[in-house]
Chains A and B, each alone.
Chain A
Amino acid sequence: MTLHRPIRVLIAKPGLDGHDKGAKVVAQALRDAGCEVIYTGLHKTIDEIVQVAIQEDVDVVGLSILSGAHLPLTEQLVKRLRERGLDDVIVVVGGNIPHRDRPKLLALGAAAVFPTGSRLEDIVAFIAERGERH
């Protein structure tokens, strides 16, 4: 029998967007569901986020973006994570994401997209299932 450590999730606010209600709500929901949650605070660069992801040895990075800049930011994050060899860290994107951008985000390497209005139980269920590293 293997003992599983709790899933470690980094909730990150990249760029200049200052809307963090959703990020903090999701962070609390994941914590209540038994995850270990680290929240970056606002205004982080992609490099800072990757650095924290490495230091904290996280399984999941949850990006929260409400400014509309989700496509370039997600692209940069996935690229940097892979460059640093973090191939099995999954990236989940939340925020003000128009319907039509969902396939684009998935194509850029996001494992899931949870736009504003998503159900917390869906987010928790997804991370519980996919967040565990193999």
Chain B
Amino acid sequence: MAVKEPQLKDVILESGIEVKPIYRPEDIAHIDYERDIGEPGQYPFTRGIHKYMYRYRPWTMRQYAGFGTPYETNQRFRFLIDHGQNALNVAFDLPTQMGLDSDDPLAVGEVGRVGMAVDTLKDMEVAFQDIPIDRISVSLTVNAVTPIILAMYITVAEKQGVPRDRIRGTTQNDILKEYIGRGTWIFPVEPSIRLIGDTLEFCAREAPRYYPVSVCGYHIRESGSTPVQEIAYAYCIAKAYIDEVLSRGLSVDDFAGRISFNFDIFGNLWEQVAKFRAARRLWARIMKEEYGAQQPDTMKMKMIAGGGGSGLTIEEPENNIVRGAYYALIAALSGAQTSALCCYDEAYTIPSAKASLISLRTMQILAEEMGLCDTVDPLAGSYYIEWLTTEMEKRIVAEMRRVDEQWGGIVNAVSQGLVQQEVARQAYEYERKLQSGEIVKVGVNKYRVEGEEAPPEVELHEYRPEAMEEQRHRLAEVKRTRDALEVEAALADVRDACQSGRNVMPAMLRAVRAYCTLGEIIGVMKQVFGTFQEPVRL
């Protein structure tokens, strides 16, 4: 008599991969250890980019922080450093990210709201006062305004006595993803890519320890893409920047190793781990086989893996602490260089100090209590994980091919709004599955507590409208005391650099040192480059 098999429900991952209930040796028989997996620290780096990974040094813990005035931000930075955080990730307010001064009419109500306001070098001097720039690696979350903010950072470091060839850290500086998600673009696509080329070229020559670009699959995924698309679009974007710099005569080994990645964690645990392992292997293959990289460092995909805000819920916010812990676990199982978590209250507000600390503690507990640093890539060799890693890689490759063959490359796809449309379509699909219950969100569409809406038990970050007054006051003070002739000459220099096509960074360094405002510099750049006209497709 035949044994009756139970009826199992289908499991299909977000990336469209069907999952079997059991994996066996034959599922990975086609995978060759030397060729496809490799030793940690060796090509193709599937197991990690360093030989001993966390056994030698745990991942960097870098919570995103910054709000209000540079003074308030400085206080939060010191708080995080005092509690053991070894790197900073600086949030800027929207006017700063959009190149508007705090006294611009369009900045009303936004100054200091989602990050710190920066108008001139003075603000950066305040924000980094008594922060040991030579020992803390600082990530600056800016995109369109990167040449200016980077110039300010270099200048602050030099004023602190740290030469530019010793500064560490990264600017986000990934404009193509801003057109897909996050939205802080200013200029049209072509000049924006050129500016990224300028920063990469400048840092390759003068600040070789700095990572001038962090290509963000993160925001593409947060905007709705599948995990496969997250990696595929990010890699197409990274290749566009690399091609720009190669066209200037640099060799790929001169700069491509200084491009890092920022990826997202939410969703299925195994799919995420496999995604990161596949991404590491594929990047190594692209750099070696397609670009002819010689240096292993150029082939190493370095990443910050961040627990995504999209995974968090308004409902029962404390559950987000638990989700954050699993996201941190995924990052650790995936060999991330740096990790950051969205805080449990982040679905509502700028994180409180308490919530930031819980996120930091979550990562510290994993690293120091749970044994996540004991051995390298502990999931390697798992029938399921190795099979899934290979499946993810295949699908990422196919999606990249689609961008090139169907959309005429990523630059065209972004300019025409084609990627944006695809990502929005995926977001809608996901939302419908969420609302139908096909995708489960505990406490939201399953086990939901109905009844009266309980107000959240979180402390809301109070926006201080006075922050704008303080900021405007400091700006007026700077304008009163600076050398007006040098300001004018420096802005003319910026205009000339933009028009002539020479690298803008020297002119930016001169302009920030003269205390030109962000808005003044961006104003000149807009006159030369124009602004992006968003292609709206639904």
CA distance A27 to B463 in the complex (A): 30
Instruction: Judge if B451 is at the interface, Cβ distance under 8 Å.
Output: no
Contact A99 B456 (CB under 8 A): yes
Task: Tell me the chain A residues, 44-60 only, with Cβ under 8 Å from chain B.
Answer: 45
User: How many contacts A-B (CB < 8 Å)?
Assistant: 97
How many Å from the CB of A48 to the closest CB on chain B?
Answer: 11
- Does A120 contact B95, Cβ atoms closer than 8 Å? no
Contact of A24 among B314, B424, B453 (CB under 8 A): B424
Q: Which residue of A lies closest to B456 (CB)?
A: A99
Is the CB of B460 closer than 8 A to any CB of chain A? yes
Residue B372, interface by CB 8 Å: no
> Does B222 sit within 8 A of A, measured CB to CB?
yes
The size class of the interface chain A forms with chain B is: 35 or more
Chain A residues whose CB sits within 8 angstroms of the CB of B42 once the complex forms: none
- Which chain A residues lie closer than 8 Å to B185 at the CB level? 18
Closest chain-B Cβ to A102's Cβ sits at a distance in Å of 9
* Interchain nearest-CB distance for A93 vs B (Å): 15
List the interface of chain B (C-beta within 8 A of A): 94-95, 97-98, 100, 106-110, 113-114, 178, 181-185, 222-224, 313-315, 347-349, 424-425, 427-428, 431-432, 435, 444, 453, 455-456, 460, 463, 534, 536, 538
In the assembly, what is the distance between CA of A68 and CA of B467, in Å?
Answer: 15
Q: Are A73 and B444 in contact (CB under 8 A)?
A: no
A100-B455 in contact given A18-B178, A24-B424, A42-B534 (Cβ < 8 Å): yes
B314 touches which of A100, A116, A119, A120 (Cβ 8 Å): A116
CB-based nearest A residue for B184: A18
Q: Give the docked Cα–Cα distance between A42 and B534 (Å).
A: 8
**Contact in complex: A21, B222 (CB < 8 Å):** yes
Q: Is the C-beta of A117 less than 8 angstroms from some C-beta in chain B?
A: yes
CA of A25 to CA of B424, assembled, Å: 7
Chain A positions within 8 Å of B349 at CB level = 98
A40 to chain B, nearest CB (A): 7
Nearest chain A residue, comparing its CB with the CB of B94: A16
Find out whether the CB atom of B538 lies under 8 angstroms from the CB atom of A28.
yes
Q: Is the CB of B463 within 8 A of A68?
A: yes
CB-nearest residue of chain B to A68: B113
B106 touches A45 (CB 8 A): yes
**Closest residue on chain B to residue A119 by CB atoms:** B435
If A18-B182, A28-B424 touch, does A121 touch B435 (CB 8 Å cutoff)? yes
The answer for the CA separation of A45 and B113 in the assembled complex, in Å, is 18
Provide the bound-state CA to CA distance between A115 and B222, in Å: 18
Most buried by A among B181, B349, B424: B424
Which residue of the partner chain, among A21, A37, A68, A115, contacts B224 with CB atoms under 8 Å? A21
* Given A19-B181, A21-B222, 10 further pairs, Cβ under 8 A: A16-B95, A17-B183, A18-B184, A18-B185, A41-B536, A67-B113, A68-B113, A69-B110, A98-B349, A120-B431
Q: Mark A9-43, 1 if CB is under 8 A from B, else 0.
A: 00000011111110011011101000001011111
